[in-house]
Amino acid sequence: MLDRAPTPPLTGITVLEIGAFMAAPFATMQLADLGATVLKIELPGSGDPVRATGPFVEGHSSPFARLNRNKRSVALDLKSDAGREAVLRLAASADVLVENLRPGAMRKLRLDYDSVRAIAPRLVYASASGWGQDGPLAALPGLDIMAQARGGLMSITGTPDGEPTKIGVPICDLVCALYVALAVTAALRERDRTGQGQYVDVSLYEAGVSFAVWEAGKYFATGEVGRPMGSAHQSTAPYQAVRTVDGHVTLGAVTPKTWEGLCEVLGLGALRADPRYADAFTRHAHRGALIAEIEDVTRGWTSADLVRALDEAGVPCAPIADYAEVFTDDHLHRRGYFWDAPHPVLGPVRQLGSPMRFSRTPAVRDAAGPLLGEGTTDALRAVGYSDSEIHQLAAQGTAALGDAPPDPSGTSEREDPA
């Protein structure tokens, strides 16, 4: 494990998260990993709906403990005047606010950008939503699968003539969150120059469309519309999964050197002289015949033997691992990717590491997702609330102080997320 740096990159930055489920929480998790203090604003009693998402360990959500690591939970009822006032006081001393409620919800709470900017002009305020803050789709609910569908990703995912297939992870949610985190760090850098905050609008829809690099290259050049191709590449070959005696192996032999190496390993030297296979683009045009010839050979290999031979020949390849294999992978363990975060009830909670590796200021490895409201008292004290005022808020139900478990039903009056 890397040594904990005393000053991670975003040390001193305070982030308020008014989020639920995925986009805002995953974005602020990135910022927390980089050292920002993230105050996760949750509804007293139930909190983020992910708290009610299983599987559960000792009554606590396993996904929540991982998605919300390195954060502090501040439980406030934003629909009450006192709760709104508390959030505004927190915002006045914060650097960033990230939210992913449906467009218009923050305005109803009188916590929209214009309202907050009036008392916090240096604040970077980022909204993640399904379709963006304006335009004809803005008011519609927008979940990841809808963004994958309308954004074209489902039209190119799966096999030809197969059923509509979404990408296996909520990719639009996740990449929207990464764009939010990138935009926030850029806006903070710009604030260093000008002293002014600004508003950031990122949508799941546009985040998904931004992936269409190859598809845009084809369509805007030739008018060709991308279609599902299984595991095959859009324009070069061989670059896909091929069958073996016990499964599949992915390979990519698209340069002259790797193409020659593949032919040598498989004993298909004659293919190098075939004009249909002269280069990767030409091979793609004849991919059906090419893959049939390759699989005639690879079906006689085990996956392990084929990977070993191709590795030795310098041909890019990999087996198709399931997540039991991924989460026990020797390479990842040797690089210290996985780590255990402490939790007051669950004990050590295994975490997926940050892919960002810094030579001097490594990502923070602090605590698992917080108990509901456990950071409320400290956060309110820091913005001038007395202990008697904090306990009064708790007595009114406006705040929760971390001394009661969340409602296992997960019911919440918070506006729907993006």
* Phi, psi torsion values for 249, nearest 5 degrees: -135, 135
Amino acid residing at 189: R
Could you tell me if 364 and 9 are in contact, meaning their C-beta atoms sit under 8 angstroms apart? no
**Among 73, 124, 130, 91, residue whose Cα is nearest residue 417:** 130
Distance from the Cα of residue 233 to its chain's centroid? 24
Closest CA to 115 of 130, 97, 129, 133: 97
Chain mean position to CA 45: 27
- Report how far residue 62's alpha carbon sits from residue 56's, in angstroms, rounded to the nearest whole number: 6
Catalytic center residues: 173
Give a three-class secondary structure readout of the chain: CCCCCCCCCCCCCEEEEECCCCHHHHHHHHHHHCCCEEEEEECCCCCCHHHHCCCEECCEEHHHHHHCCCEEEEEECCCCHHHHHHHHHHHHCCCEEEECECCCHHHHCCCCHHHHHCCCCCCEEEEEECCCCCCCCCCCCCCHHHHHHHCCHHHCCCCCCCCCCCCCCCHHHHHHHHHHHHHHHHHHHHHHHHCCCCEEEEEHHHHHHCCCHHHHHHHHHHCCCCCCCCCCCCCCCCEEEEEECCEEEEEECCCHHHHHHHHHHHCCHHHHHCHHHCCHHHHHHCHHHHHHHHHHHHCCCCHHHHHHHHHHHCCCEEECCCHHHHCCCHHHHHCCCCEEECCCCCCCEEECCCCCCCCCCCCCCCCCCCCCCCCHHHHHHHCCCCHHHHHHHHHHCCEECCCCCCCCCCCCCCCCEC
Q: Name every residue whose Cβ is closer than 8 Å to that of residue 26 and which is 6 or more positions away in sequence.
A: 67, 173, 174, 177, 178
